[in-house]
Each structure stands twice: as C-alpha cells, then as structure tokens.
C-alpha cells in the first residue's frame, strides 16, 4: 500500500440481486490524499454502484473498499467523520428554504449554534446564493437544488469529499463556477475529492487523475494529459472511443 493512499478499492464486484450480470467487475484502484479523482463513464457504467459501496451505503458482492485505512463495511462510523457525501439523487425538503435545509444537514454533521449559522452563510455566499437562500426549495431550478445539495456535503469541511454526478442539470456558467470552488477547497483545505461524471470534457480540466469505466470495468487510469497522449487522441472523448469503439453519448 502506498503511504498516501486515501481510498483503496480491491477486486470490487457487485451483482444486484435478481440481476444476471455484474454492475461492477473486479475493480481495483487507489485514490491518493489531496487529489481530485474523476470516475468517468456513460450511464450504466457502474459509477453510482462504485460510489455507493465506497460510501458504505451498499454492500459489495466481493472485494473490499477502504477509506483512510477503515473498511467501508466494518468501520463506517469512523469513515462518516471524515467524509462528505453528495449523492446523485437530491434529498432536500421541498417546503423548507435552501438555508433551512442546510441548517438541518449541518446539525446532522454535528455543527451547531453560531458556527453552523456562519458556515451556512459563508457557503451560500460562496456558491452564489445571496438572493434566493430563504425561498422554498421547491421553487428552485434543478441547478440551484444541486448547489444546495453540494453545500450540504461540504459544510463540515470533510477531509474527503465524494460527489456523484454533481453537475447534471447545471448550465455551463454555474458548472464552471462550482468546479472552481471545489478546486479552491482542494487547494486550500487539502480536501481529497472523488467525483463521478459522464462529462469527459469538464473532467479533463478538473481532475488530477481519472479512471474511465464502462460496463462495470475500468478501461484506463491516469492523468488526462497522459491518457490522451498515450492513445494519440485530442481529448478524453477520443480515449473513450479508442477503448470502446463508440462515443460516450451513444
């Protein structure tokens, strides 16, 4: 094991009950402290399955996953203290305001009083919520809900942030600014970020390293620049095409 290993996944496989194929097949990878790592692939590739096992929300069929040396199936209480989770499906209370949703989430993470109030305000401002934070979430656009969802995962300043398709439904401008904020957290707070996406272009700019997966398996792993060079492509879309013979949006 490398000393700076943060998330370690060994021979991880998952077959959902009732399904006759594997959603994940023998996935092994390591994510290092302080890096931004992208798990990329088309819909159905197995990204959410991988994500859910790493967060301890789902049991693997075989293999194991560790975060900071803790096993995701035995030490989830220790893991919970150091991670922030932003799931693909948004879980917010529609009749509460964005701010009140965040106050609620913050309390669940153990924040309280003045510290909680200030953290919520600080994050709302940072993510462009100066105006609408007191409106009911049901009036928000999809992108606004996603931003609140994301803030919910970083309020407690976790060491490791796990994001499943955080930018779906966001316009380019919101997406870019969100990525910049995440990059800032990564740089300033040394936050390790694992992020899944089917937007290869965005990941190319954002990630230190990526793994491209399809049909439950890792096709290739490395820095975007190295992968593109190795496959003689012009971008990660080309890399995906080289491995699968098809475009990611097919």
- Closest distance of CB 110 from ligand ADP, Å: 29
CA proximity to 197, closest of 222, 166, 153, 223 = 166
User: How many residues belong to the site for ligand ADP (CB under 6 A)?
Assistant: 11
Taking a C-beta distance cutoff of 8 angstroms, is the pair 196, 189 a contact? no
CB of 196 to Mg ion, least distance (A): 7
Distance CA 155, CA 109 (A): 8
Q: Closer to ligand ADP by CB, 48 or 167: give it.
A: 48
Q: Does 49 bind ligand ADP (CB under 6 A)?
A: yes
Residues 44-83 close enough to bind Mg ion by CB under 5 A? 47-48
d(CA 232, CA 82): 39
Cβ of residue 13: shortest distance to ligand ADP, in angstroms?
A: 12
Of residues 47 and 156, the one with the C-beta less far from ligand ADP: 47
Q: How many chain residues touch Mg ion (CB under 5 A)?
A: 3
Near Mg ion in 81-140, by CB under 5 A: 88
C-alpha distances in Å from residue 240, one per residue of 48, 83, 209, 234, 236 = 19, 30, 15, 11, 6
Q: Report the alpha-carbon distance of residue 131 to residue 121 in Å, rounded.
A: 12
| Binding flag, residue 167, ligand ADP (CB under 6 A) | no
Positions touching ligand ADP (CB under 6 A) are 16, 19, 23, 41, 43-49
């Amino acid at each position: 094991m490398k000393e700076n290993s943060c998330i370690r996944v060994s021979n991880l496989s998952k077959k959902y009950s009732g399904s006759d194929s594997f959603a994940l097949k023998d996935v092994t990878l390591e994510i290092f402290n302080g890096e931004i790592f992208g798990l990329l692939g088309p819909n159905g590739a197995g990204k959410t399955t991988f994500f859910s096992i790493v967060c301890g929300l789902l049991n693997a069929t075989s293999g194991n996953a560790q975060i900071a040396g803790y096993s995701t199936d035995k030490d989830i209480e220790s893991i919970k203290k150091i991670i922030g989770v932003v799931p693909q499906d948004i879980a917010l209370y529609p009749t509460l305001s964005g701010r009140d949703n965040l106050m609620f989430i913050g309390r669940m993470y153990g924040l309280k009083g003045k510290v909680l109030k200030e953290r919520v305000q600080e994050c709302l401002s940072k993510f462009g919520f100066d105006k609408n934070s007191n409106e009911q979430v049901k009036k928000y656009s999809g992108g606004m809900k996603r931003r609140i969802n994301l803030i919910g995962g970083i309020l407690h300043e976790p060491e490791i942030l796990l994001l499943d398709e955080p930018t779906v439904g966001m316009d380019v401008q919101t997406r870019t600014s969100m990525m910049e904020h995440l990059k800032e957290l990564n740089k300033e707070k040394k936050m390790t970020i694992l992020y899944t996406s089917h937007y290869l272009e965005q990941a190319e700019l954002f990630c230190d390293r990526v793994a491209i997966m399809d049909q439950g398996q890792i096709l290739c792993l490395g820095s975007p620049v190295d992968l593109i060079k190795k496959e003689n492509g012009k971008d990660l879309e080309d890399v995906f095409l080289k491995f699968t013979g098809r475009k990611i949006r097919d």
